[in-house]
Amino acid sequence: MTSACVFWIIAAVVFGVIEGATVALITIWFALGAVAAAVAAQLGASVLAQVGTFVIVAAVLLCLTRPAARKIAVKDPQRTNADRFIGREGIVIEAVDGINAAGSVKVGGQVWSAVSSDGSAIKKDERVEVIEISGVKLVVKPIKAD
């Protein structure tokens, strides 16, 4: 095994480790290009031919598989923390006071401190929509009855 072949195998392993650490489907193509360059080195290709093989194989694989990988990748991750309440409907269980920034809202079975989005008061038992989360308080707006 030539030293150039060993170099390309080491490069492939490094690219593979980087891909495993990032899981971004970016360096996998470089790892495969390095494997192809290692094969070229073992067959006695010049350094220029090895580099060319690496670049061409990586570029072709990138162009052919990246669009498919992007379609498979999750575009809208599932909300798992408090931000999952944004856009949801809740009920005021303690009047939201715009002056004192006091009030409570029940959303998704949980009680949160709340403030109104425009600083206005919202009465108990009114339905509200969560606009955002500011610190540990929900920012809400009343839902207009149809």
- pLDDT number for residue 21: 87
Percent of the chain clearing pLDDT 90 (strictly above) = 54
Query: Is the predicted pLDDT of residue 85 greater than 90, yes or no?
Result: no
Tell me: the pLDDT tens digits for 18-70?
988 887 777 889 999 999 999 999 999 999 999 999 999 999 998 888 777 77
pLDDT at 2: 86
For range 4-21, the mean pLDDT:
93
Which amino acid appears at position 43 of this protein? Answer: L
Per-residue confidence (pLDDT) for residue 27, from 0 to 100: 87
pLDDT at residue 75 is higher than 70 = no
Delineate the domains of the chain, giving CATH numbers in brackets: 3-72 (no CATH), 82-142 (2.40.50.140)
Mean model confidence pLDDT for the chain: 87
> Mind listing the pLDDT tens digit for each residue in 106-132?
998 889 999 988 888 899 999 999 999
d(CA 108, CA 89): 8
| pTM greater than 0.95 (yes/no) | no
pLDDT at site 74:
58
Measured between alpha carbons, how far is 134 from 17 in angstroms, rounded to an integer? 39
